[in-house]
């Protein structure tokens, strides 16, 4: 497929996130080095996400956040650390563009929620191999929010892949009726933005917006 993919959906579901078993033996001395090549790189984040989606055992060296288990949160944290400046820039650009669209219809501006951005980062890693609002473990996208103990009453998600800039992905979301409805929904009060670059994947650039209200 050469065209770019975008999908939107509104759901309000509360489920539990699934964790996967890990191998306690360390294959590398580099924290987060999931693929054992001796360096920490975005390839490790992609490796973790793919192993989890296939329920493969992962060495505990991949436990980047130090919580004693390997989950997609480790992949998201690795990706965020390696590209932190760009991630912050993209989030701010998208927030500004979202609020411009909301102002046009009289909707109150959204605020950027750091925890929700963390959940969106998790989802950005996951959609590399599972471009869907259903997570690789079969649960709803909203369980990524639940896994970080974020309190909310309702949530929605926009996902996209292949767009090379925050401006480009926002333009496509605005032009898509379903995505646009999430963007201007007057019920939402907070926004999380996720971005993940995987040069080895078909679309390379992966984007997520998470919306919620309390």
| Each residue's pLDDT expressed in tens, for the chain with a length of 214 residues | 333 444 333 232 222 223 333 333 344 578 888 888 777 776 788 788 878 877 888 888 888 888 889 888 888 788 777 665 566 789 999 999 999 999 999 999 999 999 999 899 999 999 998 999 999 999 999 999 999 999 999 999 999 999 999 999 999 999 999 999 999 999 999 999 999 988 889 999 999 999 999 9
Q: What Cα–Cα distance (Å) separates residue 126 from each residue in 25, 75, 104, 120? A: 25, 9, 33, 10
Please name the helix (run of DSSP H) or strand (run of DSSP E) that holds residue 163, with its range, or none. Answer: none
Across-strand partners of 208? 159, 194
Q: Is 5-16+83-213 a domain of CATH 3.40.800.10?
A: no
Cα gap 36→57, rounded to integer Å: 14
Cα gap 23→52, rounded to integer Å: 13
Indicate the fold that domain 22-79 takes in CATH: Type 1 dockerin domain (1.10.1330)
The residues of the chain that CATH labels 3.40.33.10 are: 5-16+83-213
pTM to 2 decimals? 0.67
The residues of the chain that CATH labels 1.10.1330 are: 22-79
Sign of CA dihedral 206, 121, 152, 11: positive
| Token pair recorded at residue 163 | 């767009």
């Amino acid at each position: 497929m050469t065209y770019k993919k975008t999908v939107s959906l509104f759901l309000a579901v509360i489920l539990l996130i699934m964790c996967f078993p890990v191998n306690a033996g360390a294959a590398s001395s580099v924290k987060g080095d999931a693929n054992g090549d001796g360096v920490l790189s975005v390839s490790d984040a992609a490796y973790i996400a793919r192993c989890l989606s296939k329920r493969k055992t992962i060495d505990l060296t991949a436990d980047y956040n130090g919580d004693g288990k390997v989950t997609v949160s480790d992949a998201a944290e690795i990706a965020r650390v390696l590209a932190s400046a760009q991630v912050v820039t993209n989030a701010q650009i998208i927030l500004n563009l979202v609020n411009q669209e909301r102002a046009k219809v009289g909707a109150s501006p959204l605020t950027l929620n750091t925890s929700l951005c963390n959940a969106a980062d998790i989802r950005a890693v996951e959609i590399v191999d599972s471009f869907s609002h259903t997570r690789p473990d079969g649960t709803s996208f909203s369980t990524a929010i639940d896994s970080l103990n974020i309190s909310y009453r309702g949530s929605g998600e926009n996902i996209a892949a292949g767009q090379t800039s925050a401006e480009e992905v926002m333009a496509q979301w605005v032009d898509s009726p379903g995505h646009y409805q999430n963007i201007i929904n007057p019920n939402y009060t907070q926004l999380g933005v996720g971005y993940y670059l995987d040069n080895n994947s078909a679309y390379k650039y992966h984007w997520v917006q998470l919306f919620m209200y309390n």
